[in-house]
Amino acid sequence: MSELSSDIGIGGMTCASCVARVERAIAKLPGVESVSVNLATESARVTWAPSQTEEDSQTQQARLRRAVRDAGYEPLAAEHLEQASMDAWAGFMPVAIGLMLSTPLVLPMLGDALGQHWMLSELWQFVLATPVQFVLGARFYKAGWHALLAGSGNMDLLVALGTSAGWALSVWLWLSAPVGAMVHLYFEGSAVVITLVLLGKWLEARAKRQTTDAIRALHALRPARARVITLDGEVEIPIEELLVHDRMVVLPGERFAADGMVLEGQTQVDEAMLTGEPLPVHKVVDSSVTGGSINGEGRVVVLVSATGTATVLANIIRLVEDAQAAKAPIQRMVDQVSAVFVPVVLVLALATFLVWWFMGHSAEVSLIHCVAVLVIACPCALGLATPAAIMAGTGVAAQHGILIKDAQALEVAHKVETVAFDKTGTLTVGQPRLLSLHAISLDEHALLSLAASLQSGSEHPLAHAVVQAAKAQGLSLATSEVIKAVPGFGSEGTVQMRHLLLGSLRWMATLQLAAGEWQARAEALQAQGATVSVLVERTAQGLVPLAVLAFGDEPKPGVQEALAKLRVRGLRLVMISGDNAGAAQAMAARLGLRADEVHADVMPGDKAALVKSLQHNPHGAQHVVAFVGDGINDAPALAAADVGLAMANLNADGHRGGTDVAMQAAGITLMRGDVALVAGALDISARTVAKIRQNLFWAFAYNAAGIPLAALGYLSPVVAGAAMALSSVSVMTNALLLKRWKP
């Protein structure tokens, strides 16, 4: 059995140290293979060893929730962020209360600057600051206490220690002062720090909701109900009750509730949610439709082929969620830093107190500087830097038809030096036409009928071309038997008691077909750039050539310009084709590729080996290679490449053919067959990685500059609290700038 993955939402995490703590707690559970906790999505992705029974799975979930709770956090539904209120002011009440209670404490400081004396009495300062400290700040005490019990530290512990020290110092100065004496207290510092931290967390939560816009928008594409045809006529049912093989009625303007095939009617369908392409797609009988897309002006009846988690939309949502839940390799460095960050800060804070005290300053002054160090050092921004950028980058890419399956592909794509393309269906339309059939024996119509009958069960583009040519001439197809596809060569089977083979010249050479008139004809067609196949009959006397078939394909619209733009980026381009050298070179010339950039006569199983050879140059240096393909036979090469990009092409009948297999092997899926999206995928990778580096720079810069300034006495606890809150908000805001990206 394969490994099982599960997701769980986690409430109460505040910084990178929290992430490390939750990961350690979950990793200790029996059966856990790996765990990845994401601060920005407030969730964990857990991979379990194969479970033997359903009861084991339920027990695992219970243990998982218990481990999260024992670590000091709240287990939530995995979809809690998507379900969160979209009200812009949701969760602001604690911040508002904190502002109301803290403002009277701060105003006297402003009054002093204006020559006014608005100082509140010590009792009023205590009354206003204490609820902020212990009611609004209770979350920091609770989380900090759990961190201590677990033998670790986090942001909450730093805030709780720092503000408690300021509050306790103020109480001690107030109670120990002579009667009638005017003492300077620090209640306002502790109250304002807690309020600013709460404000920063609220702004951060608002930004998080924006980073999940892509997921929320995808979920919203699924209608709640579907209209199906039953024995009682048309009936509306909840989408959860929809079954495969149901006949579903979709009216103009409605969304398709599930994947299926058109049985009746024709229409235009808006598939922008899938492909990023704004132009509607014409659908007729036998065309496939996708759940979540919008029906145009026609009423259609659809035979349901997939529901629930098996639909294309559900797969897209899963891919985006997987990418947003995953950790980029660069995050490992952050995890290592965060593991030791809080203990180091506690030591620095204690050292600050002792140094100031030994230098002859009062315990009061020493403690204030110690508090400033504790407050400004909170590693919130450090934990958000990477996941926030990944969420924003993968989300905006999905809106433009680029699905990034994992964070590693996102991080590596911008380093690509060589882009290798499969030819048929990737650079070309992938719907070759039968240009000519040259009969060696028998009548051309009879031979075309035989060839089409042999190919009628094949998914290969050349097979489709033969069948379409036969149908266009009104030829009837005979029933074929014992059909066998020979990968990379052709098809073999029995039609009307005749044992036929139809395949490439390479196959004919392997079979040692005797040379003759057919060979001269085939070589002449190859020289003209055609793809050539030979129809052969196996008889008691051996192989007898019957016909030579010539096929032609067309470049995709705009592909030459797209390749030119990739070349401008300094990328090396390579075309890999199973076609003969003549056909491959002829197409390369039309695409603007050089002769040395073409690899022809490459068997499907050899594509992966060729990709690996491109990754190593003669001098031993490593090259980062991307492979772009669209079919089942491209899957090994997509997996072998540093970055695999699967192109989700539609066949002539509206089906995706082998694209789904390619999507599973690739790190990035291009939801429409547009080569220009390759540059878009590399560009969003570069921009996302740039945002990650910017965020990490600012996160480290805040602490690198702030901690020494606080230790030297240049920052008060209030300024430190404001700087700490600003660091988290600035990191989230910088990541959200990616939402403006367009390919």
Enumerate residue ranges in the chain where pLDDT < 70: 1-3, 51-56, 78-88, 109-118, 153, 155, 180, 182, 204, 207-215, 273-279, 323-328, 331-333, 335-336, 338-339, 378-380, 482, 604-605, 617-621, 631-633, 649-665
Residue 203 phi, psi (nearest 5): -60, -40
CATH number of this structure's domain 4-83:
3.30.70.100
Supply the residues annotated as catalytic. Answer: 422
What number of CA atoms fall less than 13 Å from residue 629's CA on the CB side? 34
List 616's β-bridge partners, or say none. Answer: 622
Q: How far apart are CA 258 and CA 311, in angstroms?
A: 7
Residue 288: the pLDDT is 87
Residue 655: the pLDDT is 45
In the three-class reduction of DSSP (H, G, I as helix; E, B as strand; rest coil), residue 483 is classed as: strand
State the distance between the two ends of the chain, measured CA to CA, in whole angstroms.
Answer: 40
Q: How far apart are CA 301 and CA 246, in angstroms?
A: 10
The number of beta carbons lying within 10 Å of the beta carbon of residue 664 is 15
Name the CATH code of domain 407-429+555-666 (choices 3.40.50.1000, 3.30.450.20, 3.90.1150.10, 3.40.50.300): 3.40.50.1000
Q: For tokens 């139809």, what's the residue?
A: 502
List 306's β-bridge partners, or say none. Answer: 259
Residue 653: the pLDDT is 45
* C-beta separation of 566 from 573 below 8 A: yes
Q: How far apart are CA 437 and CA 535, in angstroms?
A: 10
Among 17, 21, 727, 739, which residue's Cα sits nearest to residue 385?
Answer: 727
Tokens of 483: 């059909």
Residue 56: the pLDDT is 67
Among 661, 663, 632, which residue's Cα sits nearest to residue 645?
Answer: 663
Among 313, 312, 277, 271, which residue's Cα sits nearest to residue 293?
Answer: 271
* C-beta separation of 291 from 258 below 8 A: yes
Q: Which residues contact 108 (CB under 8 A, 6 or more apart)?
A: 117, 118, 119, 120
Domain with CATH 2.70.150.10 in the chain: 224-256+259-306
- Pairing between β-strand 402-404 and β-strand 668-670 as defined by DSSP bridges: antiparallel
* C-beta separation of 160 from 223 below 8 A: no
The number of beta carbons lying within 10 Å of the beta carbon of residue 568 is 9
List 480's β-bridge partners, or say none. Answer: 495
CATH number of this structure's domain 224-256+259-306:
2.70.150.10
Residue 242 phi, psi (nearest 5): -70, 135
* CA distance readout (Å), 210 to 43, 222, 694, 699, 723: 16, 20, 20, 21, 23
Residues in the chain: 743
What pTM, to 2 d.p., does this model score?
0.71
* CA distance readout (Å), 687 to 167, 410, 680, 690: 45, 10, 10, 5
Query: What is the DSSP track for 247-285?
Result: EEEE-TTPBPSSEEEEEE--EEEE-HHHH---S-EEE-T
Q: What homologous superfamily does CATH list for 433-552?
A: Calcium-transporting ATPase, cytoplasmic domain N (3.40.1110.10)
Domain with CATH 3.40.50.1000 in the chain: 407-429+555-666
Q: Which residues contact 470 (CB under 8 A, 6 or more apart)?
A: 448, 449, 451, 452, 477
Among 460, 503, 500, which residue's Cα sits nearest to residue 481?
Answer: 500
Q: How far apart are CA 150 and CA 433, in angstroms?
A: 68
- Secondary structure letter of residue 504 according to DSSP: E
Q: Which residues contact 673 (CB under 8 A, 6 or more apart)?
A: 425, 426, 430, 556, 630, 647, 648, 649, 650
* C-beta separation of 277 from 401 below 8 A: yes
List 627's β-bridge partners, or say none. Answer: 420, 644
- Containing 626, the helix (H) or strand (E) segment is strand 625-629
Q: How far apart are CA 500 and CA 292, in angstroms?
A: 44
Q: How far apart are CA 583 and CA 586, in angstroms?
A: 5
Among 373, 29, 375, which residue's Cα sits nearest to residue 193?
Answer: 375
List 6's β-bridge partners, or say none. Answer: 46
Domain with CATH 3.40.1110.10 in the chain: 433-552
Provide the residue type at 681 as one letter. A
* C-beta separation of 573 from 599 below 8 A: no
Among 319, 334, 290, which residue's Cα sits nearest to residue 395?
Answer: 319
Q: How many helices (H) and strands (E) does the chain have?
A: 26, 26
Domain with CATH 3.30.70.100 in the chain: 4-83
Tokens of 205: 């939560």
Residue 60: the pLDDT is 81
Q: With the CA atoms of 671, 676, 681 and 682 taken in that order, what torsion angle do they form, in degrees rounded to the nearest 10?
A: 160
